[in-house]
Structure 1
Amino acid sequence: MKPVPDIDRMAGIECYCTDFSGTGGSIKQESGGFKVSELVEGSFLAGVSPAFGGAHRYPLYVLEKEGLDSNHALMEIGRVHRLRLRVMGIKDAKAVTKQYAGASHAWNDPPKKLQTRHTVLFLQGFTKRPLGKESLAGNEFDITIHDAAGDTGCFAQEISKIANFYGLQRFGSERLVTHLVGKEMVRRNFVCAVRLLLCHTTQYDSESSREIRKKCEDPANYRKALKEMPRGMDIERQLLGALVEGREPVAALRAVPITIRRLFVQAYQSFLFNRCLSLAIAAGEDIASPREGDLCFEMEGPATFGRIIKFNSSGKKMVPAVRMAGYTFQPGKGRFEAITKELLEQEDVVAQDFYIKEMQELSQQGGFRQAPLWCRDFASAQNPLRVSFKLPKGSYATTLLRELIKPEEPIRAGF
């Protein structure tokens, strides 16, 4: 089987799941070549009222964006329109995306259309409650693969083998630092978390970025580095600004928006999840088929994951679930739990460490995630190669695409 690129291994992705040789090529090379649209539960849209009144008081928008991830898009909207919105899922910056965004407060006469440099919002109506993640079912993708050397061949027959890995963008893509910061937060090493966030570099950093991060290694240079730091490094600017003001590491980290800070700890959980699945596959485990001792999602429909149950022979459709690391993690008899328990020991971390007393708002309980990717409606066309498919919420299109393309250099290939 083809060797895995080093950057994948750094994110805990240590194997391929399919024997498909790969089409080669690249993604995200042009505007509109990577399109994402949210799929929501049918009851969600049925519960949207076109007019304000009664129980329907919270504005709901469709947010179309390009060139920013969802968190930074919300920050941009907040700066321009003084409006706080929430979304159900985080969408990548290198994509043209369409998703729902809701106001967290009642609003009688909101604008029908709002626009910023990277976003446009269209009012859809009003909901009874502020927007919540429970209404998101998944995402639909339409992606062009440039310079592909082959077609998809028998790839569709192997999709069921693909593990539900978190993609590189979960970890910062070319910088690949978020899980490292999260690990130090979990270990209460906030000084190291600050240092990583400001100073960590990879081979993909520009020379100017390397120079600024090098200056940040010495606190005596903080004020000068802040003046030179480009606006695009907004998270670093917020952190560095707090340090210049004399704040201690925990207080300085709180200058970073809470949605971003939570992503750090969640990225560390994601890294452990990726390693767990990688080790299971390396041991010859079939991660797509449940077996005795597994915890499973009970399927409520063709792509709806229901309650967590123990594996049984009732004949109901079940999908293996992996218990995520978190402060409620308790190893049971399941094969994935045993691997996660061993990983935590290797990391010198215990489950209770994910309850962060110093920053309780970042504490992570754990939860469950399906082991296989669970792709639906995969289709492809040639000249250029274009693929479309649907994934459940929380799953990454790039996880499927790395199996399809088998890129030797993922960052240059657009991952």
Structure 2
Amino acid sequence: MEDVVGIKTYITSHEGINGIFKESPEDFYVEEVADLKFGDGDWVVLKVKKVNWDTLNFVRVLSNRLRISQKRISYAGTKDKRAVSVQNFALKIKSEDELERLRNLSIKDAEIEIVGRTNRPIQLGDLKGNVFKVVVRKAKNVENIPLIESELRAKGTPNFFGLQRFGSIRFVTHEVGKFILKRDYETAFWIYVAKPFEGESEEARRVREILWNTRDIKFGLKELPKYLRYERTLLQKLREGKSEKDALLSLPENLKMMFVHAYQSYVFNNVLSDRIEEFGSLKVVERGDWVDFVNLNDHYTFREDFVNVHGLNFRRVKFLIDRRLCALAIPLPGYETVLGDDWTSERIRFYLERDGIDLKDFKHEYKEFSSKGSFRVADILIEHTNFKYEIKGDVTFNFYLPKGCYATILLREFVKKPLF
């Protein structure tokens, strides 16, 4: 399953502990570490501990219960549904009646606490990272855990984009993004709506397979399960005479932005897999590579101050990598990305050319489908995560990760199987 999104290898060599992941929501606890400034303002900040709630659905229910627009609810990032998650929300409250409703609000499986006020919405930049407590049940080979940890400290901890980046059950978001970049909206549309994928319910898979082969809009609207509301909405647009492009453009902005971002993530994962296969370590850098630096405060973060490695700074970069104050980074391709003749650039060029994509294609006429490109750190740096584990029949892992890093990706090296 993972190789579909470019995750093709492990960096550690020891056998994994296998085990059962997320047997219950309580087996996966995640709590945000955010830098929030409290004071006066129209935005009321909530700290919410929720069980078995995904963020987008919780926001929908919250807005309905308070009778306010979802646009007046802000947060720093999404959390998985099958988990216990502690997350901050900022709500723009405009009246005493709304504030009173908020004070009296009760939502099933959610503990809601008003923690202060602020003068602006919560943004992604407010998030430093997340603290995790994860239980893996019925583990085997637990004596390998310290050996795997030692390897990760020596070789690096791959910072792949997790499967969640590419969809909830059908990991096709990057394929949609690829065809949007190619301006082939018809193919992008039908991949999103109808391409069958292993792991989906038998009912949904059967309907998608027929729809994929027939492109029968009437059949799709009749047979697709009601919970596939975006797919049904897109088919309805076609039924109304809209084009595939116009139908895709009707989707919510945050969903439209995910398509091209997922394709960038797919290229990144492939290049990172190849890097591990080629070098065997993420601590090895060459001239032409890119790196980022570490802030070590209460919780470590990456500076997002990406520097190209060249003759003048090579020894300094090597010194900082050896001391775990610097980490290899890989470009996420976009229209401002400059590719050289270094190893990483050649691999990025290979995957783009294979898919028929040019860097200029990322400058899309619709901003939701456009990206100038950026970078992502390739090594999580496990030595800064406060990584701990406890073995009592089951294995409990405790650690912190900077924003954008996936707990499932860190733990897959220990478990040696997909964790989603």
Using the size of structure 1 for normalisation, the TM-score is: 0.87
1:59–1:107 contact (8 Å) kept in structure 2: no
**Aligned equivalent of 2:163, options 162, 168, 174:** 168
Aligned equivalents of 1:31 and 1:308: distance in 2? Answer: 37
Aligned to 2:193: 198
Aligned to 1:360: 367
Unaligned runs of 5+ in 2: none
> Is the alpha carbon distance of 1:153 and 1:220 closer, same or farther for their aligned partners in structure 2, counting shifts above 3 Å?
closer
Deviates more, 1:307-316 or 1:27-36: 307-316
Aligned equivalents of 1:120 and 1:364: distance in 2? Answer: 38
Aligned equivalents of 1:125 and 1:394: distance in 2? Answer: 26
1:159-238 paired onto structure 2 within 5 Å: 159-160=152-153, 161-217=156-212, 221-238=216-233
**Secondary structure at the counterpart of residue 124 of structure 1:** strand
1:125 aligns with 2:105: no
Aligned to 2:126: 135
Aligned equivalents of 2:242 and 2:109: distance in 1? Answer: 33
> Is the alpha carbon distance of 1:31 and 1:305 closer, same or farther for their aligned partners in structure 2, counting shifts above 3 Å?
closer
Deviates more, 1:17-26 or 1:325-334: 325-334
Aligned to 1:22: 16
Unaligned runs of 5+ in 1: 1-6
**Aligned equivalent of 2:273, options 258, 270, 278:** 278
CA RMSD of aligned residues (A): 2.3
Aligned equivalents of 2:398 and 2:237: distance in 1? Answer: 44
Aligned to 2:69: 83
Residue by residue over 1:362-412, the C-alpha shift from the partner in whole angstroms, topping out at 9 and shown as x without a partner, is: 3122111101122311111122111111111111111112111112xx3xx
Letter in 2 for 1:393: K
Deviates more, 1:110-119 or 1:330-339: 110-119
Aligned to 2:295: 300
Aligned to 1:4: none
How far did 1:291 drift? Answer: 3.9
**Percent of aligned positions that are identical:** 28
Residue by residue over 1:64-93, the C-alpha shift from the partner in whole angstroms, topping out at 9 and shown as x without a partner, is: 334343234333434444332222122222
Aligned to 1:378: 387
Aligned to 1:3: none
Aligned equivalents of 1:272 and 1:76: distance in 2? Answer: 35
1:94 aligns with 2:85: no
> Is the alpha carbon distance of 1:337 and 1:64 closer, same or farther for their aligned partners in structure 2, counting shifts above 3 Å?
farther
**Aligned equivalent of 2:307, options 306, 309, 317:** 309
Aligned to 2:50: 65
Aligned equivalents of 2:353 and 2:360: distance in 1? Answer: 13
> Is the alpha carbon distance of 1:162 and 1:367 closer, same or farther for their aligned partners in structure 2, counting shifts above 3 Å?
same
**Secondary structure at the counterpart of residue 332 of structure 1:** coil
Residue by residue over 1:243-267, the C-alpha shift from the partner in whole angstroms, topping out at 9 and shown as x without a partner, is: 2333221221133221122112111
How far did 1:106 drift? Answer: 6.0
Structure with bigger helix share is 2
2:211–2:219 contact (8 Å) kept in structure 1: no
2:11–2:281 contact (8 Å) kept in structure 1: no
Aligned equivalents of 1:21 and 1:173: distance in 2? Answer: 28
1:146–1:385 contact (8 Å) kept in structure 2: yes
Aligned equivalents of 1:134 and 1:219: distance in 2? Answer: 45
1:107 aligns with 2:107: no
2:15–2:141 contact (8 Å) kept in structure 1: no
How far did 1:102 drift? Answer: 2.2
How far did 1:220 drift? Answer: 7.1
Aligned equivalents of 1:120 and 1:227: distance in 2? Answer: 39
Residue by residue over 1:155-186, the C-alpha shift from the partner in whole angstroms, topping out at 9 and shown as x without a partner, is: 22123322100111111254211111111111
Aligned equivalents of 2:412 and 2:301: distance in 1? Answer: 24
Residue by residue over 1:93-146, the C-alpha shift from the partner in whole angstroms, topping out at 9 and shown as x without a partner, is: 22221112223x563543236455575543322222221111111111111101
Letter in 1 for 2:226: R
How far did 1:29 drift? Answer: 1.2
Using the size of structure 2 for normalisation, the TM-score is: 0.86
1:287–1:371 contact (8 Å) kept in structure 2: yes
Aligned equivalents of 1:394 and 1:196: distance in 2? Answer: 26
> Is the alpha carbon distance of 1:369 and 1:240 closer, same or farther for their aligned partners in structure 2, counting shifts above 3 Å?
same
- State the number of aligned residues: 393
Aligned to 2:347: 339
> Is the alpha carbon distance of 1:116 and 1:263 closer, same or farther for their aligned partners in structure 2, counting shifts above 3 Å?
farther
> Is the alpha carbon distance of 1:237 and 1:332 closer, same or farther for their aligned partners in structure 2, counting shifts above 3 Å?
same
> Is the alpha carbon distance of 1:277 and 1:220 closer, same or farther for their aligned partners in structure 2, counting shifts above 3 Å?
closer
**Secondary structure at the counterpart of residue 154 of structure 1:** helix
1:12 aligns with 2:6: yes
